[in-house]
Structure 1
């Protein structure tokens, strides 16, 4: 006998997907690699104070957390971090090098022993930080990116390639760290070595560019003494973004460049597979990988237009054969060993899993972090890929998640409430994957619309650059166009539209609430709210000049910084809102929220401000995520007249 379907108002449906379940499944595997024949990766542990652990998959398939709590394998280089570990197999046990989040020191670890620091502590500014370690046992070194603060300010920083002794001699002696490059470039990625070890390649760029604006691909010779010399630029420039570089098995230089308007692959400067799709992306973290050369000469690639697939590219023919399987989205992390490829893939019915592909047979299988349905999949949302028309007839890409419940429908004369989700970045994209945070809302009868507004990646450089000097305009217009289109076509209730976002998405949400009348309420998470403050020392070095492309140079258009800022227009805010903030956030610091609330003054606008100790940019602790998600649902319930069962009431100040 089938389930009985009952009629109940939108937003009031009972759901087995509670906030604790959504929080437990937040985050996904990252930074995959091979250690001998074994597959390793990092993985979140929301219930363990939000730490990331290093997971080892033994030959028998058993998964093991390499390091116990509280060890947290995570780098803070450029604040967003980078690849934080490296390991080599040993006769008795592997040699592991990793970055520990708490002190940002590099540690050496052999399972069975205790981690030993390899790098010193510095009391200058934010100290010393490391990313993209690469073991060089023949030299007794590990090569890394070194980020060193030279003063108390967030932009008092230099970055170089450096070699750290594996014997621990640098643990108390900064001078024992050997610098491989000078600091003429503000930003560098880790070096990739040619198979013979005689050449090194890395990326570099300088303010005010972001890495998706323009990077240089540098190539240097490696001397017998382990020094780099003769560094020269071989690709890239101010208007060309090289996203990744590596060497093929026979020593040829392979890289992803967007010189054609799309990130495509080039081998020694020649295009391999020219297509209007992306074989690279925005380098938000050091060590992101969209391709991996194989010993056979084939190349594993993560590629696509919008959604990404895992494929094998034959450089001789330019043909790509995609892996068969249920996965419709792959993250920018890849590793290869012989003809084995390991990646991280997901779909609208499964969360991110560690996937291994045999390049010879084309067979793909899950080898780690296997998706397990925590609830009946009948409660999962059923997304739609849509393209809407925005101002000037421009296309706007979006994913629409209608309310969905196997045992409930709404009255025939009722339209559902919808929440527009603005992703962060803003140079990012919303992946079409199972997200229990989305399911938390859709299974209760609240629709979600994820908007890849102009400026998003995955659709070519021209789409990305729609946001140039138009941040706070194009993103706001595109989100509003999707929301209103859903209302006009009878998909959503025009009077019950909300907007939410975090980081740059928090900016878009706040700007939408202060400059449009589209939304009845909104949720603003760890946002940018005051451009002048954020652009003059209130954020970290990596994004400290980002506004020059998003808004324009401050010296030239100071009025634009004031006019665009939601903090300037707090007096226009007349709908209820929820403000969520981590108190340890150095990217979008709490002062931005405090200034916004001060400018709101005593105006009778219902709102709540929840600030969380121990949280930075993006929430990682289970208890924080539970509190934030339940508060958000309570906001919508109060504003839209919903009655979700079992949700604590958020107290709104008036």
Structure 2
């Protein structure tokens, strides 16, 4: 092996290109089982999502024709885009948001016909020859779209019959094995589903209408996740009533709820999207579940009779989208050394099969930086969490007198989480000589409800302080260069970036991807799902307009005194592009180095590989000019005003 070359951090020649990060990446989600067939969704580099089928003969084929894109805009974040049941596929097409019915291998047929309707999270009601689905109605004169649970005949000859209405939101409909009981989740403004939901069960009458209803669990301060009936007709669900998302079941005859294996672990996840699943039934006596502790996931079996939990020894740190059938468990998983993949696990033989990788592993382990969990002190005597990635490249070492620049990553949400997962988007930086801190700031999922709720009323304060204190901690440990600190993030992470640069004097540069600069504008101009989210994160608007102004970077632009690059999709319905435009104009007028990169056709989170590639390279180019290091690669320049 050759002796590593001494070179300035940031200038190292990396084996990873932006094409490796995005052009060769396939997003995997939406696992479903129908008979002997396995289905899932793939987000392709061109931005289109297709349904893929692996049949009983082990042949894998695309089912979605080129002119279709499987993606719903219910809640804008989507999920639950399709249903595979009874040998038929029902899916939402992105262009017109209508449902289509497809016999696998044949051309899809229009299934709904009213413009302005959106659909998600469908299930099959075979007894009544219909599907039951969440519908979001944008055709009314109401200030916001109307959400309901509706039924639509499998013949597609009706416009949908409303089964349940009156609440602001619905999700997770599920039928018992006999098809006589329907369960669902519902919640109302200003709650988000991780704040408080209600689990209801109702009798289905012979004519398919809803009979007597029963509130099983939940409320304004209890979040319920993934109701599901067991093979013997018992209703299971996940609740955070103890402060942790744990498993429960409902005994209908006794009208009581039973905790199954209480522990300080998260069996549930924040419901940003429909169709999420962390458990399934191998039999009436065995449940297979995934759970996380301090950001690391396990897969386990729960004996329903003895309530004993047995953890499987699997090489994964992240597990999601769990489905179970015929002694097989299917899930999406990855580790600190492997990108996510679609995995099959045999419960009898314990054999693991990787059925589809999101990305082929082309990076040698000698270049790979492994996530190191850290816990660091932050405000008010609390601690916060994150994953630290030191720079690593077998061909280079930094100059002896230097420490590496640090890139602090702030995830979106803010009620989401970053995970100890191999991602080329992180290795892109570490192989070039950057250190990376991926922060699970206060409010992140995975550390219990109390950690999430510390963000209540404190958004833009405690989460930002965690990013700042994480950087300070690494500087104090002499792991990074305190004079070359950058922060980056998208959506809520973009807001944290803007706040950190505005209200603290620590970072030397930042990158905001579709970040919030004006909280007041966001409160007035966003979609229904998040239209009252800020009530809990900041305060009621307009009653506490003072808080919105105090925490909006655009209102304190005179305090921001370091270079910034803004990256924005021009069709973003969640954080409209005027948020970034206002920030760019203000900084340009003040004479600060600022760049603004926009993408037509992109929404909240870019889907086209070419646009993601350009954004990543633009960010690297920006830092090279600000931190004054030579790039090892040819990158298309970005226009930086006032440089």
**TM-score in terms of structure 1 length:** 0.94
Q: Does 1:235 align with 2:217?
A: yes
Confirm whether residue 437 of structure 1 aligns to residue 425 of structure 2. Answer: yes
Partner residue in 2 for 1:316: 305
101, 110, 113: which one aligns with 1:120 = 113
**In 2, are the aligned partners of 1:63 and 1:368 still within 8 Å (CA)?**
no
> How far is 1:370 from its partner?
6.6
Contact persistence 2:75–2:529 (CA under 8 A): yes
Give 1:216's match in structure 2, choosing from 198, 205, 209.
Answer: 198
Query: Could you say what secondary structure the match of 1:75 adopts?
Result: coil
Name the counterpart of 2:416. Answer: 428
1:9: Cα distance to partner?
1.2
Question: 1:99-498 maps to which residues of 2 (within 5 A)?
Answer: 99-122=92-115, 127-151=116-140, 155-170=143-158, 174=159, 177-182=160-165, 184-268=166-250, 269-305=257-293, 306-331=295-320, 333-369=321-357, 372-498=360-486
Once residues 414 and 614 of structure 1 are traced to their aligned partners in structure 2, the CA distance between those partners, rounded to angstroms, is 42
SS in 2 for 1:427: coil
| SS of structure 2 residue aligned to 1:365 | strand
Distance 1:278 1:549 in 2: 22
Per-residue deviation, 1:137: 4.0
Structure 1 residue 557, shift from structure 2 partner: 1.6
- Using the TM superposition, give the Cα deviation of residue 489 of structure 1 relative to its aligned residue in structure 2, in angstroms: 1.0
Contact 2:291 2:298 in 1 (8 A): yes
CA displacement 1:123-158 (0-9 Å, x = unmatched): xxxx110011212344321211111114478x5211
- Does structure 2 retain, via aligned residues, the 8 Å contact 1:571–1:599? no
Write the distance in 2 (CA, Å) between the matches of 1:369 and 1:599. Answer: 44
The question of whether the paired residues in 2 share the 8 Å contact of 1:292 and 1:299 is answered with yes
1:206-231 per-position Cα deviation (integer Å, ceiling 9, x unaligned): 00001111000011001122112212
- Once the two structures are superposed, what CA deviation does each residue of 1:334-384 show, in whole Å capped at 9, x if it has no partner? 222233221100011111111122334443322233752133343222221
Unaligned stretches of 5+ in structure 1? none
Among 544, 556, 578, the alignment partner of 2:531 is: 544
CA distance in 2, matches of 1:522, 1:61: 47
Q: Tell whether the 8 Å contact from 1:351 to 1:433 is kept in structure 2 after alignment.
A: yes
User: 2:254 corresponds to which residue?
Assistant: none
Change (3 A) 1:131 1:8: same
Secondary structure at 2:185 match in 1? strand
Q: Is this contact kept in 2: 1:307–1:432, CA < 8 A? A: yes
Instruction: Show structure 2 runs of 5+ residues with no match.
Output: 251-256
**Distance apart, 1:25 and its partner CA:** 4.4
2:489 is aligned to 501
User: 2:632 maps to what in 1?
Assistant: 645
| Structure 2 CA distance for aligned equivalents of residues 638 and 371 of structure 1 | 31
Q: Give the whole-Å Cα distance in 1 for the aligned partners of 2:286 and 2:302.
A: 6
Rounded to whole Å, the distance in 2 between the matches of 1:349 and 1:24 is 20
Q: Deviations over 1:291-333 (max 9, x none)?
A: 21232421111101122222212233333223333211112x1
Pairwise CA distance, 1:26: 4.4
Alpha-carbon separation, structure 2, partners of 1:258 and 1:342: 25
Tell me if 1:32 matches 2:9: no
Q: CA deviation at 1:257?
A: 0.4
CA distance in 2, matches of 1:168, 1:258: 39
| Alignment TM-score, normalising by the size of structure 2 | 0.96
> Which residue of 2 is the match for residue 513 of structure 1?
501
Work out whether residues 57 and 368 of structure 1, in 8 Å CA contact, stay in contact via their aligned partners in 2: no
CA distance in 1 between counterparts of 2:544 and 2:25 reads: 40
Aligned to 2:82: 85
Cα distance in 2 for residues equivalent to 1:248 and 1:294: 9
Higher alpha-carbon deviation: 216-225 or 299-308: 299-308
CA deviations over 1:227-255 (Å, ceiling 9, x no partner) = 12212211000111112211111111111
Q: Distance in 1 between matches of 2:498 and 2:339?
A: 29
**1:605 matches 2:587:** no
Aligned residues of 2:172 and 2:227 also touching (Cα < 8 A): no
Equivalent-residue separation in structure 2 for 1:275 and 1:557 (angstroms): 38
2:577 aligns with: 590
Query: Structure 1, residues 426-479: CA drift from partner, whole Å, max 9, x if none?
Result: 001001111111111111101110000000000001000110000010011000
- Cα distance in 2 for partners of 1:143, 1:286 equals 14
Question: Are the equivalent residues in 2 in contact too, given 1:131–1:190 (CA < 8 A)?
Answer: no
